[in-house]
A and B are shown apart, each in its own frame.
Chain A
């Protein structure tokens, strides 16, 4: 009897809920990750998946789908070819601007439907724990070295590589850039002293930093990271100086944004804007942002398009200056 009442209650709820929400996914939603498993995008996708599940934000399940082939180009092409399908969301980062430029991938983010920008990711200059402890010493050592310092990073002609080129331009030191398949690999190679430094995202070097195997020299942003909780025995993210403070005037932030395929209806987009807004208010999300030292931001609708246009211009300019645009 009791079951019957709850069932009736649920049915009533459902009836009242239906007209309120115009559209809802009817199939499992695929969250498309443009990188390999375990990378920053994958971790974020799994956090979102867990938050949605735990707080029951959507009726259909969410499935993480890894499409990191061809440095993430696979995911872009996949989204592009899924026009009109509202059951796929892409977790995008700066590759949406850079890949079409460096590898002539037939893709343009304007062909997708922007949902929201959910965070900005930082870049930090790291070196091995046995190396110089400040940016000045590091640059001096790099200049004095007879063979160029090795700089590890993810992929070729992408954000890590661009940062390396700009560091060279600003300091006059020479670096040999070693592209790895993932930030994790770049991190362990730094610990093993096979490279002198890398420019990983905070999340990628977090564990080795906590283990005291690397030094965080400076963060490539105009201001310090907000989080003041101690991460290592002595330092919090907030204790890491900005590169500008240390005399290395290079800044770069990378967006983390959600996109739907092209040609979806405004109601469908509205559903996801609402969904991710709710996700961004969950404790899981907040904890994740702090742990990975991500900068919380939120753009949707017109603001987002404006932001994307500007960000695109900036990235294109950096890529052109670095000489990474394919002819």
Chain B
């Protein structure tokens, strides 16, 4: 059973979080090991496994980025956060240089703040792009688009995701230094 099936959902990215939570609670009430403490070992083990699957599915699907990552793995795509976004090769080069300055302790507070704002702005741009591409995926699924058309879009999603996770890593790097 994949995570979408656990929740009885088609493989779409627009998920109503309130409904997801409600189903999560309902299914938890059915399968939680707390209700199987006097059951035979095999049933107990199943309850733990099922609840683990349910929890893993909920943790993944309720998060907009993890949800896309998971969808991509179902189709054999992998989002790689170490790939430099081709679209902003030069910009990223500059950001990286500035980041080195910060790490070496040579940057002023103002410079760090400006760098942080710059990265944030780029991340938000990618987030918006990711959201738009997610909606487009749902449309393709709902309109019954052809296999090649879907694959093509998944490849596009994987690319956007790689880029946005690259920026996210930069952001984390900056927060740490």
Q: Do A and B come from one complex?
A: no
B positions within 8 Å CB-CB of A: none
A positions within 8 Å CB-CB of B: none
